[in-house]
């Protein structure tokens, strides 16, 4: 079942199926960003200027943390001083190096995520656990 919401951004009204969003980013300044599927357009919602839409996104991400969804594997990852809520099932490839560095690209976002056990142990462990459960290819 789709989870449709109306969001206002840059004087435009978007009607978005949140179930198709794979990544939400909560920034230290309070803003939340997500990327529209199939086009990589970022939508940035500031709670100060758009509290109603911010609450919609917050409630949806809280729902994700507690939901058991068959086609999703939602995790919280800290990366570059931001908190990302990511559906790991949406990622199509991971690059694992002998030094332990793990790289992956999220759909609709062009920048790579690079995790290393020394600099980001908790998030690294979360992704490695997922890879071990789903693929069996990575030994920690």
Which mean pLDDT values do the consecutive 10-residue runs of the chain (140 residues) have?
89 94 94 91 94 95 77 88 93 90 89 91 92 80
pLDDT of 83 reads: 95
In a domain, 95, yes or no: no
Phi/psi at 22 (5° precision): -105, -15
In a domain, 19, yes or no: yes
pLDDT of 32 reads: 97
In a domain, 87, yes or no: no
In a domain, 54, yes or no: yes
pTM, two decimal places? 0.89
In a domain, 128, yes or no: no
Contact 78, 22 (CB under 8 A): no
Helix, strand, coil share of the chain (percent; to 5): 25, 35, 40
In a domain, 29, yes or no: yes
pLDDT of 68 reads: 65
Q: Tell me the two tokens of residue 10.
A: 């840059």
Domain count, the chain: 1
State which residues form the domain around 35.
4-66
Domain CATH number, residue 50 = 2.40.50
In a domain, 126, yes or no: no
Contact 57, 24 (CB under 8 A): yes
In a domain, 72, yes or no: no
pLDDT of 23 reads: 94
């Amino acid at each position: 079942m789709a989870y449709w919401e109306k969001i206002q951004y840059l004087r435009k009204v978007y009607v978005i199926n949140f179930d198709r969003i794979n990544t939400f980013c909560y920034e230290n300044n309070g803003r939340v960003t997500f990327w529209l599927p199939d086009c990589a357009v970022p939508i940035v919602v500031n709670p100060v200027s758009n509290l109603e839409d911010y609450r919609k996104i917050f409630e949806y991400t809280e729902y994700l943390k507690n939901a058991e969804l068959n086609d999703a594997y939602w995790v919280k990852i800290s990366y570059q001083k931001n908190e990302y809520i990511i559906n790991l099932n949406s990622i199509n490839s991971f690059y694992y190096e002998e030094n332990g560095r793990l790289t992956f690209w999220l759909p609709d976002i062009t920048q790579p995520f690079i995790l290393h056990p020394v600099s980001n142990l908790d998030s690294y462990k979360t992704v490695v656990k997922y890879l071990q459960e789903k693929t069996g290819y990575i030994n920690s």
